[in-house]
């Protein structure tokens, strides 16, 4: 144990002095995360504002001049109407991005309306960019509402008469649950990915780096056995990877703190405060520890085998998908935390976190997740030890 600690202490000092490792494990998750979130939200806000302020270019095939729509739409300063002669012209203009949306009203539009019949308004748009579709539909709805009221009055009918039942929606989900649904899958995906990245950088530096720098012979001829060396190094990788994951969460919290009140609603800030309780953080870290051991256990044989950093990263690259896919599974709708999913490594951590973010109880599944990860982590370490003890790999 003492020798494991000696190796751990030295390796920790060594990696803390490596700029590349510090960049990946500390700087990027802490600062890049808030920056990415800030840029995404800012872009969304700017695009939204830009679209709201943009004048809609409407191309219209109006066979019924002077109808009720014409007056309303033409008086709207946010709409610039251009009339055309056929439907193909509407389609071509929208495709060529010369118009944002199109309308077609037939010559019987007013007469049908006057006879209390339903007139048809055809709306044309490109679903690739349907911001203007909703704006146009809202405008049409605004015109339609008073017309409906007028008809009802003419017919001496109240609105209730034509409404057999009214639907009232009551969403019983708390703001935390809504937040959990929106971000619960995304959050674990981010920190699982970061912990894998951190683990990868550190494991490669600790094992392959030792070979690349030519220090492995010195270490192997010292009175410390390979198991102690490996444990010391894996402990550093686990520390670093867990720290990376925690920092990535801290990065998000930092972002919330910095930009609260500006672009983030106050209610959301409250919810985030409710989610990130000390118990939540402890539960996540405790799950992350065996997960990072598992990651390190998978990566150590590769890092031991590789002669240099380049070879190691080229072998590890496909493993990224093996981490991304199970983490993404948790984001899919319908995938629930149950007896099966709580045994699937990575997916189980992502689902547990998603549930905890949403305020749902994870109960026994958290324990199954933790215990199964312990088993997978231990098996991975045993496998690592076999590879690390293999002289063909270590002195390759």
Partner 1 sequence: MKCLENLFYFSNSNFSKMISVQHLVKIFPTKNNFFFKKKTDESEMPSRANSVDDISFECKPGKIFSLLGPNGAGKTTTLRMISTMLKPTSGIVTVAGFDTQKNPEEVRSKIGFLTGSTGLYARLTPNEMIKYFADLNGLDDVTFKRRKDELFTMLDVHSFANKRIGTLSTGMKQKVSIVRTMIHDPEVVVFDEPTSGLDVITAANIIELIRQCKAKNKTVIFSSHIMEEVNLLCDDLAIIHNGKLKFNGSMEDFRLQHGNHSLTEAFIETVQNDLKI
Contacting positions for partner 1 (CB under 8 A): 3, 6-7, 10, 13-14, 17-18, 213-215, 217-218, 220-225, 301-302, 305-306, 315, 391-392, 395
Rounded-to-integer distance, Cα 349 and Cα 17, Å: 31
As measured in angstroms, the least distance from the Cβ of 218 to partner 1 is 6
Which CB atom, from 49 or from 391, has the smaller least distance to partner 1? 391
As measured in angstroms, the least distance from the Cβ of 380 to partner 1 is 16
As measured in angstroms, the least distance from the Cβ of 296 to partner 1 is 17
| Those residues with Cβ within 8 angstroms of residue 126's Cβ, 6 or more apart along the chain or in another chain | 94, 95
As measured in angstroms, the least distance from the Cβ of 376 to partner 1 is 20
As measured in angstroms, the least distance from the Cβ of 303 to partner 1 is 11
Which CB atom, from 66 or from 214, has the smaller least distance to partner 1? 214
Chain centroid to CA 330: 11
Which CB atom, from 13 or from 39, has the smaller least distance to partner 1? 13
The Cβ of residue 221 has, within 10 Å, a number of other Cβ atoms equal to 8
Structure tokens at 173: 């989900």
125, 132 in Cβ contact below 8 A? yes
Beta bridge partners of 56: 79
Rounded-to-integer distance, Cα 159 and Cα 365, Å: 52
Phi and psi at 54, nearest 5°, equal -80, 135
Rounded-to-integer distance, Cα 351 and Cα 330, Å: 5
Which CB atom, from 3 or from 181, has the smaller least distance to partner 1? 3
Beta bridge partners of 60: 83, 103
What DSSP state is assigned to residue 65? T
As measured in angstroms, the least distance from the Cβ of 395 to partner 1 is 6
As measured in angstroms, the least distance from the Cβ of 247 to partner 1 is 21
Which CB atom, from 6 or from 173, has the smaller least distance to partner 1? 6
Which CB atom, from 37 or from 237, has the smaller least distance to partner 1? 237
Which CB atom, from 287 or from 302, has the smaller least distance to partner 1? 302
Rounded-to-integer distance, Cα 52 and Cα 259, Å: 23
Structure tokens at 327: 């983490």
């Amino acid at each position: 144990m003492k020798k494991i600690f000696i190796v751990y202490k030295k390796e920790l000092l060594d990696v803390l002095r490596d700029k590349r490792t510090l960049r990946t494990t500390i700087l990027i998750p802490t600062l890049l995360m808030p920056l990415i979130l800030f840029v995404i939200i800012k872009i969304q806000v700017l695009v939204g504002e830009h679209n709201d302020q943009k004048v809609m270019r409407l191309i219209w095939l109006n066979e019924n001049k002077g109808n009720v729509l014409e007056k309303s739409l033409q008086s709207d300063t946010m709409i610039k109407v251009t009339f055309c002669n056929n439907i193909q012209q509407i389609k071509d203009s929208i495709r060529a991005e010369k118009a944002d949306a199109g309308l077609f009203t037939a010559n019987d539009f007013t007469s049908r309306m006057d006879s209390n019949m339903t007139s048809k308004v055809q709306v044309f748009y490109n679903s690739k960019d349907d911001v203007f579709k909703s704006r146009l539909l809202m405008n049409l709805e605004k015109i339609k509402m008073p017309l409906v009221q007028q008809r009802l009055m003419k017919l001496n009918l109240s609105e209730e008469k034509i409404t057999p039942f009214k639907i009232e929606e009551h969403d019983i989900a708390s703001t935390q649950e809504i937040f959990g649904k929106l971000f619960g899958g995304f959050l674990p995906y981010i920190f699982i990915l970061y912990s894998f990245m951190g683990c990868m950088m550190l494991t490669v530096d600790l094992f392959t780096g030792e070979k690349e720098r030519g220090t492995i012979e010195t270490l192997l001829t010292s009175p410390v056995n390979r198991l102690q060396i490996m444990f010391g190094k894996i402990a550093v990788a686990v520390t670093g990877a867990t720290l990376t994951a925690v920092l990535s969460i801290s990065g998000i919290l930092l972002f919330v703190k910095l930009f609260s009140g500006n672009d983030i609603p106050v209610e959301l800030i409250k919810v985030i405060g409710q989610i990130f309780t000390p118990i939540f953080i402890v539960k996540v870290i405790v799950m992350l520890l065996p997960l990072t051991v598992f990651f390190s256990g998978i990566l150590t044989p590769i890092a031991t085998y590789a002669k240099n950093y380049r070879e190691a990263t080229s072998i590890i690259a496909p493993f990224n998908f093996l981490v991304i896919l199970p983490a993404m599974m948790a984001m899919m709708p319908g995938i629930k935390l149950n007896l099966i999913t709580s045994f699937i490594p990575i997916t189980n951590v992502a689902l547990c976190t998603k549930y905890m973010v949403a305020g749902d109880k994870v109960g026994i599944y958290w324990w199954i997740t933790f215990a199964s990860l312990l088993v997978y982590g231990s098996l991975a370490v045993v496998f690592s030890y076999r590879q690390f003890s293999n002289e063909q790999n270590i002195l390759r």
